[in-house]
């Protein structure tokens, strides 16, 4: 049986290329006069997607039309598609077509344009994709009965080499070997090998011995793994790659080498999704993207609880993929969802399960209609509950019903703003919208610094980009968007149990997206610790604060905060610093005194780079009297 032929011209393209695209359809069946052909470019209309053409041929660029073999030009009719902002394009045949006749759809410059295709054409998507589909629906008799679609495909490949990304561990031990992944990327972050054949890359780093000077070629795959690197001196390092053809230089994020290290620093995202890949309907692609492209060590799902946004079938697929992708010592996955409670008593929570194959708890169900019911029917070992976007107007959380057994960490930052403090208090990433536009502002009742002053105790994590649930209207407003954040967890092992226990111990910190190394200690105790003067009497007179910071850019300020106020600011002249400070004011003069609480202090570190990126360490608390430990049933979560 003869089959139709679908041929794309060109059959391959570089990401972001602007030009003319032709889709030749040779029919295997006769098509009557008035037959209709409907073309679907399969775009979501995002900036990264295939550019949407217009059917108006009077436009000077980016149009769509069709041609018959005799040169007859057919204008397209834009057809609305339910639940989509992107139309399909319908053509009606002015004459019948015989078997073997060719019908060509053209997207690009107008038919009589004198401009070059790269000036007046259509821009392809910015992401690489093998066999990127375009669909053609055919109604042979023109009566509205469209058959199963024919499919054209175009391979989208990486563009010219623009950036070299070096992915390395943040903590290593002296003389202990580790691997580094090098990604050769185009302007849009895609893997590429599109570089001059004689391109040569030189590797170096601090204290590198001359006999270890490496030269690299750009590989066909677009990435290469460099095995068995090691440092024989402790300190801060950055691996450097120099393109010897144009002398461009690229650096890795900082690496701290310890004499011996029992803990590692793991980077990931608990709340957020990718601008490229939907994290609900395309969860498998999403997980691969964060694991392979973004090189994250862990990732948690964070779909919203509503049936409309996350159906039961979708939840089953998400749960299965989370279980399949969880791999110790490579990529740890967490099953989680977002629960928008009543503001301001509940606010928005991100619930992360300790085990796989758990149900999604919906607010519309009577058994889970409030956070109180959820907490009552579960043990703290079942999940960790993270308050998010606590200063978001209309969805804020005032911490009046803070439950420390479940809420061990709080999201201090995501791509829609920082909830540490108000703009008036100096917040450089406030929740806000452009003047004269639409959006939401900040609610001071949800300020994290006020919750800490009230005696609530939690560590800091960061969220990423989100356009679902309560955030879904932000893209259509003038809401100010910042970079997606990252969470750093310091743990002994790279598995789910160890990471969850570290979160429960508040051994974590937040950044605005850069892999900034932060160490913060008081009397030798790590961030998240609770100390007491009864066990360490010297803390009443002197709190010795020390640590280290290594940034991805020059460090602008390093601020030590005590009870919400800056008590010491460092101004390093480098991208890294080892710091120390003795807070020698008498404990009782500055301690916070709250009803039913022993007098206490809390400290944390705030880092700001010259490029504006920031990091916040989790706090350390000092009490006049030792506070009782949490009851056994609220001990760190264990899967």
Phi and psi of 115, rounded to 5°?
Answer: -80, 160
- Please identify, among 261, 291, 306, the residue that sits at the C-terminal boundary of a domain: 261
Q: How far is CA 202 from CA 239, 399, 505, in A?
A: 11, 53, 42
Domain check: are 152 and 207 in the same one?
A: no
pLDDT single digits (tens) 15-28:
999 999 999 999 99
Above 70 in pLDDT, residue 213?
A: no
Range of the domain at 511: 265-634
Q: What is the mean pLDDT of residues 528-541?
A: 94
pLDDT single digits (tens) 306-332:
999 999 999 999 999 999 999 999 999
Q: What is the mean pLDDT of residues 537-560?
A: 96
Looking at the 3D structure of the chain, how many domains does it have? 3
Q: Is residue 302 part of a domain?
A: yes
Above 80 in pLDDT, residue 497?
A: yes
pLDDT at position 636: 44
Above 70 in pLDDT, residue 632?
A: no
% of residues, the chain, pLDDT over 70: 97
Above 50 in pLDDT, residue 637?
A: no
Report the distance separating Cα 530 and Cα 276, nearest Å.
Answer: 41
- Give the up-direction half-sphere exposure of residue 46: CA atoms within 13 A in the CB hemisphere: 13
Which residue has better confidence, 209 or 496?
496
Q: How far is CA 312 from CA 5, 302, 305, 333, 452, in A?
A: 40, 15, 10, 20, 38
**572 exposure class (CB count in 10 Å sphere: 0-12, 13-18, 19+):** middle
Domain check: are 532 and 620 in the same one?
A: yes
Q: What is the mean pLDDT of residues 6-20?
A: 96
Domain check: are 273 and 250 in the same one?
A: no
In CATH, what number is assigned to the domain containing residue 10? 2.60.40
Domain check: are 380 and 515 in the same one?
A: yes
Residue 216: pLDDT band with limits 50, 70, 90: confident
Domain check: are 486 and 384 in the same one?
A: yes
- Out of 101-105, 264-268, 472-476, least confident range: 472-476
Report the distance separating Cα 324 and Cα 356, nearest Å.
Answer: 10
pLDDT at position 141: 86
Instruction: For tokens 């308050």, name the residue.
Output: 387
pLDDT at position 214: 77
Residue 277: pLDDT band with limits 50, 70, 90: confident
Domain check: are 148 and 198 in the same one?
A: no
Q: Are strands 409-414 and 417-418 parallel, antiparallel or unpaired?
A: antiparallel
Report the distance separating Cα 244 and Cα 487, nearest Å.
Answer: 35
pLDDT at position 1: 40
pLDDT at position 638: 42
- Please identify, among 234, 261, 288, the residue that sits at the C-terminal boundary of a domain: 261
% of residues, the chain, pLDDT over 90: 85
pLDDT at position 362: 95
pLDDT single digits (tens) 397-414:
999 999 999 999 999 999
pLDDT single digits (tens) 367-382:
999 999 999 999 999 9
Whole-structure pTM value: 0.91
Domain check: are 209 and 79 in the same one?
A: no
Q: Is residue 639 part of a domain?
A: no
Domain check: are 447 and 303 in the same one?
A: yes
Q: Is residue 135 part of a domain?
A: yes
Domain check: are 194 and 271 in the same one?
A: no
Q: What is the mean pLDDT of the chain?
A: 93
Domain check: are 178 and 286 in the same one?
A: no
Report the distance separating Cα 153 and Cα 168, nearest Å.
Answer: 36
Domain check: are 207 and 248 in the same one?
A: yes
In CATH, what number is assigned to the domain containing residue 200? 2.60.40.1930
- Please identify, among 211, 240, 261, the residue that sits at the C-terminal boundary of a domain: 261
Above 90 in pLDDT, residue 62?
A: yes
Domain check: are 299 and 359 in the same one?
A: yes
Q: What is the mean pLDDT of residues 549-570?
A: 97
């Amino acid at each position: 049986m003869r089959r139709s032929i679908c041929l794309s011209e060109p059959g391959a393209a570089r990401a972001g290329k602007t030009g003319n695209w032709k889709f030749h359809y040779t029919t295997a069946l006769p098509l009557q006069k008035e037959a209709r052909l409907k073309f679907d470019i399969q775009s979501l209309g995002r900036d990264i997607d295939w550019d949407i053409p217009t059917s108006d041929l009077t436009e000077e660029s980016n149009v769509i039309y069709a041609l018959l073999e005799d040169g007859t030009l057919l204008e397209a009719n834009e057809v609305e598609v339910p639940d989509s902002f992107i139309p399909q394009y319908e053509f009606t045949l002015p004459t019948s077509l015989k078997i073997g006749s060719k019908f060509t759809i053209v997207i690009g410059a107008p038919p009589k344009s004198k401009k070059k295709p790269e000036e007046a054409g259509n821009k392809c998507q910015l992401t690489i994709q093998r066999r990127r589909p375009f669909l053609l629906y055919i109604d042979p008799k023109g009566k509205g009965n469209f058959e199963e679609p024919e499919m054209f495909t175009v391979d989208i490949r990486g563009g010219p080499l623009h950036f070299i990304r070096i992915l390395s561990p943040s903590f290593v031990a002296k003389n202990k070997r580790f691997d580094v992944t090098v990604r050769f990327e185009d302007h849009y972050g895609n893997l590429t090998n599109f570089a001059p054949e004689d391109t040569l890359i030189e590797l170096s780093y601090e204290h590198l011995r001359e006999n270890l000077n490496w030269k690299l070629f750009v590989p066909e795959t677009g990435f290469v793994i460099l095995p068995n690197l090691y440092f024989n001196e402790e300190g801060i390092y950055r691996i450097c790659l120099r393109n010897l053809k144009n002398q461009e230089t690229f650096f890795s994020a900082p690496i701290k080498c310890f004499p011996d290290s029992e803990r590692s620093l793991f980077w990931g995202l608990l709340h957020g999704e990718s601008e490229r890949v939907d994290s609900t309907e395309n969860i498998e692609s999403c997980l691969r993207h964060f694991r392979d492209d973004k090189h994250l060590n862990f990732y948690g799902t964070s779909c919203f609880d509503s049936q409309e946004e996350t159906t039961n079938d979708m939840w089953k697929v998400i749960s299965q993929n989370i279980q399949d992708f969880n791999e110790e010592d490579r990529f740890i996955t967490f099953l989680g969802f977002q629960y928008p409670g009543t503001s301001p008593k509940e606010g928005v929570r991100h619930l992360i399960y300790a085990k796989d194959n758990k149900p999604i708890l919906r607010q519309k169900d009577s058994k889970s209609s409030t956070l109180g019911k959820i907490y009552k029917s579960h043990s703290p070992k079942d999940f960790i509950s993270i308050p998010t976007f606590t200063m978001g107007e209309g969805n804020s959380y005032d911490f009046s019903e803070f439950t420390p057994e479940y809420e061990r960490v709080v999201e201090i930052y995501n791509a829609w703003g920082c909830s540490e403090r108000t703009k008036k208090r100096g917040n450089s990433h406030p929740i806000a919208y452009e003047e004269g536009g639409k959006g939401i502002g900040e609610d001071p009742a949800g300020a994290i610094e006020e919750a800490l002053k009230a005696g609530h105790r939690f560590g800091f994590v960061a969220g990423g980009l989100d356009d679902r649930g309560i955030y879904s209207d932000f893209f259509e407003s003038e809401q100010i968007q910042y970079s997606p954040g990252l969470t750093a967890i310091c743990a002994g092992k790279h598995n789910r149990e160890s990471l969850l226990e570290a979160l429960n111990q508040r051994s974590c910190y937040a950044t605005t997206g850069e892999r900034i190394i932060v160490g913060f200690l008081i009397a030798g105790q790590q961030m998240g610790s609770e100390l007491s003067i009864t066990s360490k009497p010297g803390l009443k007179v002197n709190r010795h604060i020390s640590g280290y910071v290594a940034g991805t850019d020059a460090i602008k300020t390093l601020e030590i905060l005590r009870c919400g106020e800056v008590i010491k600011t460092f101004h390093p002249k480098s991208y890294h610093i080892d710091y120390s400070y003795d807070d020698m004011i008498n404990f009782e003069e500055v301690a916070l005194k709250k009803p039913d609480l022993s007098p206490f202090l809390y400290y944390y570190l705030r880092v700001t780079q010259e490029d504006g990126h920031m990091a916040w360490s989790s706090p350390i608390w000092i009490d006049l009297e030792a506070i009782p430990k949490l009851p056994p049933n609220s001990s760190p979560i264990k899967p």
